[in-house]
Amino acid sequence: MHSQMPNGYYCEDLIVYGGLNRGCQITQGFEIFTPDLRHASNAARVDAHNALMQLLSATSDLKQIQFRWKVDSDYSEALLRYQQETEKAENVWSKTCRNERFYRYMDRMRRRELRRERLHVFLTTEIKTTEPIFISRENLRTKYHKEWLRLKNSYREYGHAIQTALGADTRIKPLGDFEHFIYYHQFLNPSLPDRWEAVDNQAKTYEQLWDPEASIQELSYPSDNVSDGARPHGFYADGYYHALLAIKRWPHRTSNSNPPPI
């Protein structure tokens, strides 16, 4: 266990850091599927800018909001789903063509010749109420249950706020416990694509690793992290350098240039 690193548990689609008392932090992750605006009109980009400002305003009462954008070549979920449909095909020629396409793109994915962009948003809130000193176990259990229901409802509302801010062209997918686990496992073990020879067995491997009673570190953080004095804003883990950027206040602009007119 890494005593200096944050640790938590997956619980009913939320991530819990600490007990349900003052100082405990609760996190919910969302995967965001946005339209590609690289060739969009100026009006569409202005709308996207305004939507981002609306999103920040709708979540301003949170303890923390974290955006993570990454690029990889992982199309395993879509390809495996494609192969499952291929196995149901009765036409021999159609099945042959689909199998060829599946293995061709699976090979390109293993060689990292494909590109896929992913955006995740993690919202974190902090419990500020204190636990009463004189309270029975039953009343304490009732209190925790009410607090937990309140937290789940609040994150459901945050999800609706994100959807409203970003519009109908954007799809929002809340992460469940197993999806949170897969995300954290991939994030904390970036060398997985190099170590897993059979990419088509990833889903089965995740199911073997998954233990709902284990903590994040027990499930996904087997390696040591090493600091580097020459690069103080990050650390090395699993053979990769992890850079960290912490923002203590909202920025006045979202790019190097002046913001578009509203």
Q: How far apart are CA 228 and CA 234, in angstroms?
A: 8
pLDDT tens, position by position, 68-114 = 888 888 888 788 889 999 999 889 999 999 999 999 998 888 888 88
Computed over every residue of the chain, the mean pLDDT equals 81
Contacts of 36 (CB under 8 A, 6+ apart): none
CA distances from 121 to 31, 33, 116, 258 (A): 6, 11, 17, 25
Residue 121 main-chain phi, psi, to 5 deg: -120, 130
Which residues on adjacent β-strands are paired with residue 119?
A: 32, 69
Tokens of 58: 């709708």
- What's phi and psi for 243, nearest 5 deg? -90, 145
| 57-66 average pLDDT score | 82
DSSP 123: E
Tens digit of each residue's pLDDT (9 = 90 or more) over 123-180: 998 887 776 677 777 877 787 788 888 888 888 888 888 888 888 888 899 999 999 9
Please determine, for residue 42, whether its predicted confidence score (pLDDT) is greater than 70. Answer: yes
The whole-angstrom separation of Cα 167 and Cα 35 is 11
pLDDT at 262: 42
8 A C-beta contact, residue 260 and residue 49: yes
Q: How far is CA 47 from CA 43, 156, 161, 214, 247, in A?
A: 6, 24, 16, 43, 24
User: Which of the four pLDDT bands, split at 50, 70 and 90, describes residue 203?
Assistant: low
Residue-level pLDDT at 261: 46
Tell me the residue length of the chain: 262
